Structure 1
Amino acid sequence: MDSSTGPQRPMELRLSDDGLYAAHMRGKDLAVFWKLAAERKEIDLERLKTNGLKTIKFAPTQRYDPDGPFAEKERRLLTHQGVSVAVWKFHPLEQLAEIQNIEPESLYVDFGGSENEIIVFHNWNTKMTIYSLSSERSMVIKSPKMAHPLGYGYRPKTRQFAILLKPETSDILTIHEFQSYGLINRTVLPTIDAQGLKWSPDGKWIAVWDIAIAGTKVLIFTADGQLFRTYTNTSGPEDENDTGVRQIEWSPALGHSATSEILAVSKVNGNIDLLRTRTFSSSTTLSHVFQIESTAPRIWREKYMNALGDAEYVETSSSSAFSMSADSSSGTPRSASTMTFNADGTLLATVDSAKSNVVWIWSLDGTPGLTSALVHEQPVRQLAWHPSTSQLLINAITNNLPSVRYWSPHSPPVIARVPTKKCDSGRYEVKWLTVPDQRYLDEPSGDYIHDSPFWFGSNEEWVVGYLSEEGDAAYFRVINSIVNSQ
């Protein structure tokens, strides 16, 4: 949703990370919406000075304590137009600051370590500039490796900055102080081509992984940039079957000590190694090569009910489900193209690139194992766990009716049609609202699936609503909608 669009296409609707605000261009006006989970949404409009809008982005809200000093009126939004970046505040919508004379071909623009910082990655990755709105000064870091969030990151809570650099032939990791960006540490990496870095949610570790042709190699650094462990293939570096790492994902920071306990490493051979963060050694390997057993987990298969495209899940045998997987004979290398933990880290949902129509749900309580799988007619585009409970929205590409798929460990999965404009590409997006609102339950019976609204939409129209049940069927109840138009 953060990629820019062409000149003949309306700018996509942008959502804040908690889903409570939305923004897009309405003609020449910047339109910001809020109170979206209420019966009547609010809107602010502001005419922009110039055309050529490239980017709209909200400042991250997860950095702030909702009960602390960060109030709604302090939210920020940026717009990138041509050679300038403007920062806006809400209630009312007003421009707070403007950065001019930005290179016209800048690759990436976003907020930095706070709502008062803007970062700009310049053309050809020659440099990254950090603009401070409070001090009105700028700082430069030369030769960033990539103009992408995988190439840099801010430490949770304390906001120290880590970035991958590529000044010549070697990858370099540097760590910088918050706000001043003074250098804490600089390390030349033993990598062929580092693919990204990720801070652990507890802020204790930085993980960097190498390109797949290097074999399995994940480097674990302490928060100040000291190399702590190197995770490699347990069979040895000369193993010809070691096809390397596709991606990594940390489990949430939980418990009294707020610790991230698992680092999941997706391998190109289709396996996922689960590393316990006490030692960063592999405790379990999950395999997408399903072994058919008499004690198989619950397998659900999508089935179309009529010619209109209404669908439902039916329980099926494992042999039937996996024999019809869409990409089973495509020859695509197996790896987890999607990998996401639920809110408490007890479940992991994955999509295997060689069978992109199947969602695998693994239980990590006790001995990890497959707890359920859902097989669809088309590739799965997106998985979205509820921010605080074990409820999963599954978004599959569909050329039929717009519909959302829902799974939880407490009830059979359901498919609900969404009353929104049909997208010709079949590519929709889903996003939970972070704050649940009890006002939208079906009272007084309490006949509902969950109490959190969520977004569903495409470039044409977005709707926010919730799922409810009537008998054996699930329905999407619309609270608000936003039609995207120039």
Structure 2
Amino acid sequence: MDSSTTGGGPLSIVLSDDGLFAAHINGKDLIIYSDVTSEYKEAQTSRIKENNVKILKFCSTRSGSSSGSKRHLLIANESRVSIWQLLPLQLVAEIKNVEPGALNIEFGGNDSEVLIFHAWNTKMAVHSIEDGRTSVIKTPKSAHPLGFGFRPDSNQLAILLKPETSDILTIHHPSSCELLNRTVLPSIDAQGLKWSPDGKWIAIWDTASSGTKVLILTADGQLFRTYDGPSGVDDAFDLGVKQIEWSPAVGPNGASDVLAVGKVNGNIDLLRTRTFSSSTTLSHAFPTDQNSPVIWRERHTSAMGDAEYAETTSSSALNMSPELPGPPRGVAIMSFSPDRNLLSTVDTMRSNVVWIWALDGSPRLASILVHEQPVRQLVWHPSTPQLLINTITNTLPSVRWWSPQSHPVIARVPTHKNESGKYELKWLAGSDNDSVFWFGSSEEYVVGYLSAEEQSVQFEVLNSLTNQGYGSHSGSISRN
């Protein structure tokens, strides 16, 4: 949701990762929206030089990026990149004569750097918009964001390279891109890397065909440990790793205590970072004992498509979510709550089911939510244990909400139906109401919050936005 492409006409709406800004391009006009919850619907507009804009991205608000008036936006076409300051809206830098066929263009470790991945992954150029300096790193393995990453706080760059037959990890200085370390990896085909949120570790996972293989490296790129699966398990049936996810860095020591390893067989190994050995394996299987958690099933309450959650049994949930043929099995989504006490997951074999695990103490299954359509997105609130669930909705646009202490709810959202049924969710940071979020598609978004009145839950609209400007929606839609 932080980038967009177009083949002509108004460019799709793009939201900043904290939801505080929205942008789109209409013809030669760049339009920026801020104060999106305010009743004063003002927007900044400026003319751009680029034709056929392909990329529109806000800078991430990760550590190291500027804030306030220095926040930046990137615009790119096939041959030109421009960087805009948001408040006030003004052009601050340009990169001209970009080689055609760039695979990816985005901000670097801060909003004063731009990364350009050249065609065929021959090189990655790092452009500084402060001093005009350009550094080059040859043969990046992938232009995908999983192929590189910036260390929290210090912004050192870690990047996977593939100059010949071996995977190589290099670590670079945050401002000069000077090479700090180079490590030849004992991998067959590394799939990606992720820094731990506390900046102490880099985890790299190998291709699934090599079985379970996760490399743990120190922040300076030294191989510390290789995780190859839980001990005592027959590796003849090891189908390998699908993805990994670090728990947030919280607590008195600010450490990331858990690394979740999502497997192709649908299991999740939880590794404690003290030893990087498996402490628990989570399995996506409906419980049959009496101590099983409450299972919630989505059910329609009207012919128009209104829905609600109702309690159900394990057998009923199993019948509603048969294993699906199609893509290879694997853990599709893993997402930690901000306090790392909860983990929400989706398995591709039952893509309509959300599994929520409690990790405080001995890990256990806390809740199961079964839907009629595949789950597209799970979004935890940035500071409280509230989970927004987004499914592919072919009927009425709706949002699903879960929290540990409350009955989960489904609420209609007053936005035009998207024929694909694919909507996006994003929490809005820094609002007076900490439960405000965006809902919509690239053509139209609404921003609002859920409110409860007696037995109904409503989506209260604060503002709406289309790729032609502010919309006319107002009021609320209630759940029957």
Match of 2:439 in 1: 456
Between the aligned partners of 2:103 and 2:213, the Cα distance in structure 1 is: 29
**Does the 8 Å contact 1:40/1:480 carry over to 2?**
no
How far apart are 1:169 and its partner, in Å?
1.1
Query: Which AA in structure 1 matches 2:345?
Result: T
How far apart are 1:291 and its partner, in Å?
3.1
Between the aligned partners of 2:403 and 2:233, the Cα distance in structure 1 is: 40
Q: Does 1:467 align with 2:450?
A: yes
SS of residue in 1 equivalent to 2:236: coil
Query: Which AA in structure 1 matches 2:19?
Result: G
How far apart are 1:26 and its partner, in Å?
2.3
SS of residue in 2 equivalent to 1:240: helix
Between the aligned partners of 1:298 and 1:204, the Cα distance in structure 2 is: 38
Match of 2:473 in 1: none
Match of 1:398 in 2: 393
Query: Which AA in structure 1 matches 2:114?
Result: I
Q: Does 1:211 align with 2:194?
A: no
CA change 1:18–1:406 in 2 (3 A) is same
The correspondence for 1:342, drawn from 334, 337, 345, is 337
How far apart are 1:71 and its partner, in Å?
4.6
Q: Does 1:185 align with 2:169?
A: no
Q: How does 1:237-248 map to 2 (within 5 A)?
A: 239-248=235-244
**Does the 8 Å contact 1:10/1:459 carry over to 2?**
no
Match of 1:436 in 2: 431
Between the aligned partners of 2:35 and 2:164, the Cα distance in structure 1 is: 49
The alignment's C-alpha RMSD in Å is 1.6
Task: Extract unaligned runs of 5+ from structure 2.
Answer: 470-480
SS of residue in 2 equivalent to 1:398: coil
Match of 1:448 in 2: none
Q: How does 1:152-231 map to 2 (within 5 A)?
A: 152-231=148-227
After superposing the two structures, state which structure 1 stretch, 399-408 or 51-60, moved more. 51-60
Query: Which AA in structure 2 matches 1:270?
Result: G
Q: Which whole-Å deviations, capped at 9, do the CAs of 1:287-343 have from their partners, x for residues lacking one? A: 002231111101000001111000000011111112210x41527544210000000
How far apart are 1:94 and its partner, in Å?
0.7
**Does the 8 Å contact 2:50/2:76 carry over to 1?**
no
State, as a whole percentage, how many aligned pairs show the same letter: 60
**Does the 8 Å contact 1:421/1:460 carry over to 2?**
no
Between the aligned partners of 2:237 and 2:139, the Cα distance in structure 1 is: 34
Q: Which whole-Å deviations, capped at 9, do the CAs of 1:67-122 have from their partners, x for residues lacking one? A: xxx55211111101221110111232110010001112111011111111111001
Between the aligned partners of 2:247 and 2:310, the Cα distance in structure 1 is: 31
**Does the 8 Å contact 1:13/1:459 carry over to 2?**
yes
Q: How does 1:22-33 map to 2 (within 5 A)?
A: 22-33=22-33
Between the aligned partners of 1:288 and 1:104, the Cα distance in structure 2 is: 45
Match of 1:56 in 2: 56
**Does the 8 Å contact 1:340/1:383 carry over to 2?**
yes
Between the aligned partners of 1:47 and 1:53, the Cα distance in structure 2 is: 13
Between the aligned partners of 2:452 and 2:233, the Cα distance in structure 1 is: 53
Task: Extract unaligned runs of 5+ from structure 1.
Answer: 439-450
**Does the 8 Å contact 2:8/2:52 carry over to 1?**
no
Match of 1:119 in 2: 115
How far apart are 1:10 and its partner, in Å?
3.8
Q: Does 1:311 align with 2:311?
A: no
**Does the 8 Å contact 2:324/2:350 carry over to 1?**
no
Between the aligned partners of 2:431 and 2:274, the Cα distance in structure 1 is: 34
Match of 1:144 in 2: 140
CA change 1:381–1:71 in 2 (3 A) is closer
Match of 1:441 in 2: none
Q: Which whole-Å deviations, capped at 9, do the CAs of 1:111-165 have from their partners, x for residues lacking one? A: 1111111110011101000001112110000000000110000000001110000
How far apart are 1:184 and its partner, in Å?
1.2
Paired residues, what number?
469
After superposing the two structures, state which structure 1 stretch, 285-294 or 213-222, moved more. 285-294
Query: Which AA in structure 2 matches 1:194?
Result: A
CA change 1:98–1:15 in 2 (3 A) is same
The correspondence for 2:365, drawn from 348, 366, 370, is 370
Q: TM-score, normalised by structure 1?
A: 0.94
SS of residue in 1 equivalent to 2:146: helix
Query: Which AA in structure 1 matches 2:186?
Result: P
Between the aligned partners of 1:394 and 1:71, the Cα distance in structure 2 is: 29
Q: TM-score, normalised by structure 2?
A: 0.95
Match of 1:320 in 2: 316
Between the aligned partners of 2:3 and 2:208, the Cα distance in structure 1 is: 26
Between the aligned partners of 1:312 and 1:8, the Cα distance in structure 2 is: 39
Between the aligned partners of 1:109 and 1:460, the Cα distance in structure 2 is: 23
SS of residue in 2 equivalent to 1:389: coil
After superposing the two structures, state which structure 1 stretch, 56-65 or 268-277, moved more. 56-65
CA change 1:61–1:235 in 2 (3 A) is closer
**Does the 8 Å contact 1:308/1:400 carry over to 2?**
yes
**Does the 8 Å contact 2:240/2:263 carry over to 1?**
yes
- Structure 1 runs of 4+ off > 6 angstroms? none
How far apart are 1:235 and its partner, in Å?
4.9
SS of residue in 1 equivalent to 2:220: coil
Match of 2:248 in 1: 252
Q: How does 1:295-310 map to 2 (within 5 A)?
A: 295-310=291-306
How far apart are 1:27 and its partner, in Å?
2.9
